[in-house]
Structure 1
Amino acid sequence: MNKVRFKIKGKRAVELVARDDENLLEAARRAGVMIDSPCSGNATCGKCKVKIESGHVKTEKNRHISEDEAAQGIVLACNSTIIDDIEVDVPDLASSFVNEMQITDLSNNENKNIKYVRKKMIREGMTNASRLWSEIIQLPCPTIEDSSADEERLKLYFKHNLGYEDIAISLNVIKKLPDVFRKNDFLIEVVYLKRREIAEILDVKPANGEKTVLYGIALDIGTTSVSACLVDMNSNEILTKASMGNAQVKYGADVINRIVYSEKPGGLENLRRAIVDESINGLIEKMVKTVGITKEDIYEVCAAGNTTMNHLLLGVNPDYLRREPFIPAINDIPEMKCADLGIHVNPEGKIYLAPSVASYVGGDITAGLFAVPVWMREDFTMLVDLGTNGEIVFGNKDFLMTCACSAGPAFEGGEISCGTRAVPGAIEQVTINDGDLRPFYKTIGLESPVGICGSGIIDLICEMKRTGIIDGKGRIDRSLNHPRIKFDEYGIGQYYLYSKELDNGSKDVYITEIDIDSFIKAKGAVFSAIYTLMESLDMSIDILQNVYVAGGIGTNLDIENAIALGMLPDIPVDKYYYIGNSSMQGCYLALTLTEGKDKIREISQNMTYMELSVYPSYMDEFISACFIPHTNMNLFPSLKQ
C-alpha cells in the first residue's frame, strides 16, 4: 500500500492510500481530484500531465512528454502506475474548468433571441404563464357536522371553487396537511402544477398574507459544460445564470469515451454522481446563494441534454447508443420528481427532460429548436449547434430534417493543448499582423490569458491561414524563422499567442499542428453534415434563408472567419444569427409558456432523423472538407480569389 498526496496548485491537498499497482489517473478519480483526460486514459491526448514532486511511478515513454518534461518529473497520469509513496502536483486549469462556476448575465444575443421568440409565440396563441401556480385559500374549518378529511376538504375546494376535476397529491404532502391546516385556522397557501383538468399539489403551507415567490430552473446539460438560469416563475424574470464544466469530463471528453467508461465496474454510477452531485447540485447551490433564496423555493426544473447525457443522468445503460443500429433505451422521458434523481430542490419539485429524437440528436436539439422557431416559419431555415456533437436541423413549418456528426470537443476548447471553455481569461478574439506575425487578442473579462476558447480558436486558425503561417492542411511553414513558431523534438509545430519568454506572461498559450488538425476534422464534420443533409433532399445550399448558429463556442463568434475556414456554408453573412445557448433558452421558454413542454414534444415527434454513418457519400464529403476551406472551391465562390 502506497500513500498518494495530490497537490492542486494554489488550492488544496488531497491524500489517499493507493491500491496495489493502481493507475495514477484512476487514483485521482477515486480521490475526487480533477485531472484533464479527454481521451479517458488512453494516452492519446496528452492532457493529463502531472508532476511527481517526490517518490516514483512506473511510466512509459510517450510522445506527449518531452525529454525536458521527463527530467522535471512530469508524466501522463493515465500512463503511470503507483509503486511508491508519492506527492503529485496537479495543474489547476483542469480543476478550475470543472469546479469554478461562472455567475453571469445572459449574453445580448441570448436576451435578444428570447424576447423575439417569446413575443412571436404569444402572438401565435401560446399562454404567457407557466404551469406552476400558488393559491391562498380559506378552507372551511371542520365541525361535528362537517367531518371531511383534510385531503378530501382540499380536493372539494379545488373542484368547486377552482374548477378542477381532481387533484393529485403525494404522501409526503399529505403528511403536512394536519399541522399546516391548523396553524392558521385553515388559511393556507397551496403550490401546484396545472395539468389541464388536474391540479398536482406540490406543497402546502400556512398563508402569510402574500403569495410565495416560486422559482424554476432552466438547465442545459452539455457534454463539456453545464449551464443553468434561475427563473422567478411569478414574473418570468431570469434572476441569474451560472455555468461550469461538466464534471464527467474526468472520465472522457466525448460521449463515446464516457459510454466506454460506464461499462467499467461502478462506472455508470460514477458518471451519474458526477453530473448530479458535482455539476447540477453545485450550480443550484451557487445560484440560490447569489439570489438569497432556499433550494426548497424551487419547484420546477426544465432540462435538456443529448441522448447520452440523459441516459447517464438517469443511470440507464448507454452502451447500445454507440453500437449499430444505435438504439436508445428511451427518448421521451416521463416527468418525474427531482428527488428521484438526487437533485436538490423542493422535495416535491418536478423535472422535465426534453425528449430526444435518436441516439445522437437529443433533447438539447429539440429544446434548442423550440427557441429557434424553424417549425413556424415559411422560409427554409437551419439550426447548427456547435458542441461536442455537431447537430443540424433543416426545414420550415412543413418539415424538419436532422442529422448529427461527431465534431469532438474542439469547439468548446476540449482536446486543444491550451483550450478552455468561454471563461474569464479565455482568448476569444484574435488577429495576426501581416508583417511581423505578431498576435493581438482579446480575453473574456479583459483578464490575463488562461487559454483559448472556441471563437478564439476559429479566429486564430483563420488568421494563421490568411498570413501564410499554415497551409490548407494546417501545416506550419517550415521556412518561417520566427520567435513565436517552434518545433518540438517530434517535429510538431507550435505557434505562441502568449508566451512567458516573449510577453513576460504567467504561462504559455499556444496552438499546435495536432490541435489544428483536430479542429480541421471538427469543422470538416460539421460542413460535410450540412452538405450531405441538403444533398439528400436534392436542395442547394443557396436555398437557405436563415442559419441560426448555437453552442458554447464563445460570445464573439466571427461568422466570416467560420466561413473562411470552411466550417459554415458560403452564403451572405447577413443570413446568419449567432444565438448562444439555444438549449437553455428553449428550456426557459418551456418553463414560462403553458404549452411549451407539449410543443417541444410535438417538435421531437415531427423531426425526421438521417443517420450519416450509413449515408453512402458522407465519408467522401468529410474527407473533402478536411482542408482549409475545402478541396472543392466551387462550394466557396466568395473565397476563390
Structure 2
Amino acid sequence: MADADPTKTDTQSTAPEGKTAHVVFTPSGRSGDFAIGTPILQAARHLGVDLDSVCGGRGICGRCQITPSVGDFSKFQIKSKAENISPMNAVEERYRSKRSMKADRRLGCSSTIQGDLVIDIPADSQVHKQVVRKRAEVRSIEINPVVRLHYVEVEEPDMHHPSGDLERLEQALYEQWGLTVDHADLSVIQILQKALRKGEWKITAAVRNEHELIYVWPGFHDKIFGCAIDVGSTTMSVHLTNLQTGDVVTSVGAMNPQIRFGEDLMSRVSYVMMNPGGEVEMTKAVRESLGYLIGQAAVEAKVHPTEILELVMVGNPIMHHLLLGIDPTELGWAPFALATNQSLEVLASELDLKGKTNPGARVYFLPCVAGHVGADAAGVALAEGPQLREEVTLVVDVGTNAEIILGNKDRLLACSSPTGPALEGAQISSGQRAAPGAIERVRIDPETLEPRFKVIGSDLWSNEAGFAEASKKIGVTGICGSGIIEVLAEMFLAGLITEDGIIDGGTASRTDRILGEGRTFSYILHRGEPEIRVTQADVRAIQLAKGALYAGAQLLIDKLGKPVERIVLAGAFGSHIDAKYAMVLGLIPDCPLDMVASVGNAAGTGARIALLNRHSREEIKQIVSGIEKIETAVEPRFQEHFVGAMAFPHKTAPFPNLEKVITLPPKKSAHSSNDDGETGGRRRRRRC
C-alpha cells in the first residue's frame, strides 16, 4: 500500500499465507502487512519499532504498553477501527488490576492484530526514551544504557541432553532475545544454579553490552540503577539514577576527605612527594567516602545494592589517578604526564566498593583531555555541547581548579587554571561552604555605605522586618562563595575598594564600618556574633583566583583569535553566582549579560549522559580527541594576562557590554594608594 509519509518503512510480513492487515506505528511511521492474529509486540520488533519489553512478551513487566488509534487516517490511507485489535484478555486484565494501566492502553505482547491499525507508542514505552534536560536547546538524553534486564524461561536439565545451567541460560537468551552471550562473570556462575531453581527455571538476567552476563535474579525483576559520580577536589556528589526511566531518584554529596592532605590539587601532590606512600592514604580516604555516599543514596531511595549495576565517574586528573590508586606525582611537574588519558572500565570491587554495589557492577571513567584538564572537563563538553554550536562559547567549570573550554563546532581549546578554594569560601576570613546561615547575597547602599544581605535558609533581606526572627535558628554564620563575590563587587561599585583591590581607608570618614587593621583596612558586613568582616587578605585571595581564571580564558581567546559570544558557568559555585557581579570583578571576560548562563553541575550531568546512553561514550572519545590542550604553566603570556586581570574588572581590557547595564566607578589616581594597602585616608587618620 502506498504511503505519502517519507519516514515510513514498508516491510512485508513473513507470516503464513492468509488474510493480512496493514499496521502503522506512530510516531516512527513504520508500517507493514501482518497476518491476522500477529501479536503487536512481534510486529513492532519485526519493523524495528522502538517498543520496550523486559519480560519477553509474557505480560509481566507492562513496558510494552501501546495506544490503538481510531479514525480515518488519510495520511496513511488507512481506517483504524476499535474492533481491529483483539479484545482485552485475562493477562491484560490481571496486569491492569495489579499494576494499573490507563484506560486507553493495551499490552503490545498480549493484544493481537485483527485488522488495519494505527498504533501509537507512548514515550514511556519506548526503549530509547527522551529525557529532556534543563538546557533542551543544547541536547537531550536518549536512554540506551549499557546494561539491560532480560526475563527468560530456561530449559530444565535433562539426563539425555547434558549441558550446564549457564549454557542453557545462554541458549535461552539467544532464542528469546536474540542475544549472543559469550562472557559470564564468576560471581554470576556462583549464584546461577540456586537462582534458577528458586525461580522455577524463570530468571531475570542483567546483560552488559549485549554479550556480558553480569547478574541474575530468580523470577521476574524489573529494577536497575546506576550512579553518576563527580569526584571534585573539594566536594563529591553521587546521583543515583533509574537506568530504565532516566530519573535521578536521589542525590547525595560530601566534602572530599582528602582536604586534610591539602586544600588544592598541587598541595596534595606535594604531600605525596614529601610522604612516600601518601597516595595510598588519599586513595583509601576517597574510596571510603565514595562507598559511604553510594550506601547513603541506596538507603534514601530504598534501593538494594545488587540493583546498582553501573557507575560513571568524572573528576580532574589528580582525583582520577588517586581514585584509581595511581601515584599522581608525574602531574606535579612538566610535562604533566597522565598515566592514561583514555576512558577506562574497571570492576566496582577493584575500587573497594564491594557490598555497596552489585558484584558485577562496572565503573566507567570518562577520558581525560590532557595534563590538568580531566574527565570532568570531558563531562562538561558532553553536557553543554560547545562543539555543536555556531557561536564561540566559553565554558568555565568553576572550582578549586577551574577547567575552561572555548570554541564552537569548528574548533575547541581547553586549559585549566589554579584558582584555589577562595571562590568556594575557603581561605576567606569568615568564609564557609554554602550551608544554612551563610551570607549568599549582598547589596551596599552607595550613599550610606550600609549593607544588607540574605543568608541561605531565609528569603528575607537583613534590613527587612522579621529577618532576626527568621534567621534565629540558623544564625548568620559566615559568607559563602557567591556572597564574597557579591560583597566585593558591591564594595567596588560603592567606592570602598579601588580598581587595584585596595580597601580605601579614606571612606572611614563616611562610615564606621571601615576599620583599620595594622597597615590595611577591613569592612564590617555583619555586626553580631560572629562578626563578619571583609579583610584586605580576603580581597587579595579573590583577586588571585579571579586573575588566574581570567588569564586562562584570555589565553584561549588569543589562541582562537575570536571574541567570546556566549559564556556558560558550570560547577556548584558557578550555578549560584550572579553573572553581573562576576563580570564586575572581572571573573569572566566581557560578554552580553543575556548570553551568560549558569548550568549547575555540568560535569555531573555529563556523567549522567554517559550512564544513560552507551553511544555517548564513543561520542565523548571523539570530542576529547579533537580538543586542543593549552598548558598555562608554559605559556609566556599567562603572567601578563594574570597581572592585568588582578584589577577590577581589568587593568586594560574594556567591558563595553557590562557598561551598558551598570556604571563602573571612575578610576582612582595612582597616588591615592600604595602597594601595601595604605591609602591617603590612612595617613590622614594618623595625623589626627
1:144 aligns with 159
Shift of 1:250: 0.9
SS at match of 2:475: coil
The answer as to 2:454 corresponding to 1:442 is yes
Shift of 1:453: 1.8
SS at match of 2:384: coil
- Specify the code of the residue in structure 1 equivalent to 2:278: G
The answer as to 2:566 corresponding to 1:536 is no
For structure 1, the residue ranges without an aligned partner over 5 or more in a row are 1-112
Shift of 1:164: 2.7
The answer as to 2:440 corresponding to 1:417 is no
Task: Please give the per-residue CA displacement for 1:250-289, whole angstroms capped at 9, x wherever unaligned.
Answer: 11111000011123133111111221112x1222222222
Task: Pick from 573, 596, 616 the counterpart of residue 616 of structure 2.
Answer: 596
Shift of 1:326: 1.2
Shift of 1:412: 1.4
1:71 aligns with none
2:515 aligns with 486
Equivalent runs, 1:211-222 vs 2, <5 Å: 211-222=221-232
CA distance in 2, matches of 1:412, 1:599: 32
Task: Pick from 243, 262, 265 the counterpart of residue 272 of structure 2.
Answer: 262
CA distance in 1, matches of 2:138, 2:595: 19
1:309 aligns with 319
- Kept in 2, the 8 Å contact 1:428–1:554? The answer is no
SS at match of 2:648: coil
1:271 aligns with 282
- Kept in 2, the 8 Å contact 1:308–1:359? The answer is no
Do the aligned partners of residues 455 and 120 (structure 1) sit closer, same or farther apart at CA in structure 2, a change above 3 Å counting?
closer
SS at match of 2:597: strand
The answer as to 2:550 corresponding to 1:527 is yes
Do the aligned partners of residues 265 and 199 (structure 1) sit closer, same or farther apart at CA in structure 2, a change above 3 Å counting?
same
- Specify the code of the residue in structure 1 equivalent to 2:605: Q
- Kept in 1, the 8 Å contact 2:593–2:658? The answer is no
1:365 aligns with 377
SS at match of 1:548: strand
- Kept in 2, the 8 Å contact 1:459–1:561? The answer is yes
Do the aligned partners of residues 569 and 449 (structure 1) sit closer, same or farther apart at CA in structure 2, a change above 3 Å counting?
same
Shift of 1:148: 1.0
> Please, which moves more after superposition, 408-417 or 570-579?
408-417
Task: Pick from 412, 415, 421 the counterpart of residue 403 of structure 1.
Answer: 415
Task: Please give the per-residue CA displacement for 1:29-85, whole angstroms capped at 9, x wherever unaligned.
Answer: xxxxxxxxxxxxxxxxxxxxxxxxxxxxxxxxxxxxxxxxxxxxxxxxxxxxxxxxx
Task: Please give the per-residue CA displacement for 1:280-317, whole angstroms capped at 9, x wherever unaligned.
Answer: 12222222222222323211111100001001111111
For structure 2, the residue ranges without an aligned partner over 5 or more in a row are 1-130, 459-473, 667-688
Task: Pick from 295, 309, 325 the counterpart of residue 335 of structure 2.
Answer: 325
Do the aligned partners of residues 178 and 637 (structure 1) sit closer, same or farther apart at CA in structure 2, a change above 3 Å counting?
closer
CA distance in 2, matches of 1:449, 1:150: 65
Do the aligned partners of residues 119 and 470 (structure 1) sit closer, same or farther apart at CA in structure 2, a change above 3 Å counting?
closer
- Kept in 1, the 8 Å contact 2:574–2:598? The answer is no
1:58 aligns with none
The answer as to 2:390 corresponding to 1:374 is no
2:566 aligns with 546
1:82 aligns with none
Shift of 1:456: 1.1
CA distance in 2, matches of 1:114, 1:443: 32
Bigger relative contact order, structure 1 or 2, given CA contacts below 8 A and separation 6+? 1
Do the aligned partners of residues 281 and 449 (structure 1) sit closer, same or farther apart at CA in structure 2, a change above 3 Å counting?
farther
Equivalent runs, 1:558-597 vs 2, <5 Å: 558-597=578-617
- TM-score, with structure 2 as normaliser: 0.71
SS at match of 2:654: helix
Shift of 1:145: 2.0
RMSD, matched Cα = 2.0
Shift of 1:459: 0.3
CA distance in 2, matches of 1:149, 1:532: 63
- Specify the code of the residue in structure 1 equivalent to 2:546: K
CA distance in 1, matches of 2:256, 2:195: 40
- Kept in 2, the 8 Å contact 1:134–1:212? The answer is yes
- Kept in 1, the 8 Å contact 2:505–2:516? The answer is no
Do the aligned partners of residues 243 and 484 (structure 1) sit closer, same or farther apart at CA in structure 2, a change above 3 Å counting?
farther
Task: Please give the per-residue CA displacement for 1:149-179, whole angstroms capped at 9, x wherever unaligned.
Answer: 1111122223333223333211111111121
CA distance in 1, matches of 2:365, 2:161: 43
- Specify the code of the residue in structure 2 equivalent to 1:495: Y
CA distance in 2, matches of 1:338, 1:607: 29
CA distance in 2, matches of 1:426, 1:146: 72
- Kept in 2, the 8 Å contact 1:403–1:612? The answer is yes
SS at match of 2:573: coil
CA distance in 2, matches of 1:634, 1:127: 43
The answer as to 2:173 corresponding to 1:158 is yes
The answer as to 2:202 corresponding to 1:187 is yes
CA distance in 1, matches of 2:132, 2:439: 27
- Specify the code of the residue in structure 2 equivalent to 1:260: S
SS at match of 1:135: strand
CA distance in 1, matches of 2:576, 2:381: 22
Do the aligned partners of residues 635 and 480 (structure 1) sit closer, same or farther apart at CA in structure 2, a change above 3 Å counting?
closer
- Specify the code of the residue in structure 2 equivalent to 1:356: C
Equivalent runs, 1:420-499 vs 2, <5 Å: 420-446=432-458, 447-481=474-508, 482-488=511-517, 490-499=518-527
Equivalent runs, 1:6-85 vs 2, <5 Å: none
- Specify the code of the residue in structure 2 equivalent to 1:606: G
CA distance in 2, matches of 1:152, 1:121: 42
SS at match of 1:553: helix
- Specify the code of the residue in structure 1 equivalent to 2:133: K
The answer as to 2:655 corresponding to 1:632 is no
Shift of 1:524: 1.1
2:65 aligns with none
2:38 aligns with none
Shift of 1:606: 1.5
- Specify the code of the residue in structure 2 equivalent to 1:266: G
2:300 aligns with 290
The answer as to 2:133 corresponding to 1:115 is yes
CA distance in 2, matches of 1:405, 1:155: 51
Shift of 1:450: 2.5
Do the aligned partners of residues 297 and 486 (structure 1) sit closer, same or farther apart at CA in structure 2, a change above 3 Å counting?
farther
Identity value in percent: 30
- Specify the code of the residue in structure 1 equivalent to 2:228: A
CA distance in 1, matches of 2:339, 2:182: 32
Aligned residues: 511
- TM-score, with structure 1 as normaliser: 0.76
- Specify the code of the residue in structure 1 equivalent to 2:526: Y
Shift of 1:216: 1.0
Shift of 1:215: 1.1
CA distance in 2, matches of 1:129, 1:218: 15
Do the aligned partners of residues 545 and 620 (structure 1) sit closer, same or farther apart at CA in structure 2, a change above 3 Å counting?
closer
- Kept in 1, the 8 Å contact 2:592–2:657? The answer is no
CA distance in 1, matches of 2:305, 2:245: 19
Shift of 1:608: 0.9
Do the aligned partners of residues 142 and 252 (structure 1) sit closer, same or farther apart at CA in structure 2, a change above 3 Å counting?
same
- Kept in 2, the 8 Å contact 1:412–1:552? The answer is no
Shift of 1:429: 1.0
Shift of 1:420: 2.1
CA distance in 2, matches of 1:523, 1:230: 34
SS at match of 2:263: coil
- Kept in 2, the 8 Å contact 1:381–1:547? The answer is yes
Do the aligned partners of residues 560 and 438 (structure 1) sit closer, same or farther apart at CA in structure 2, a change above 3 Å counting?
same
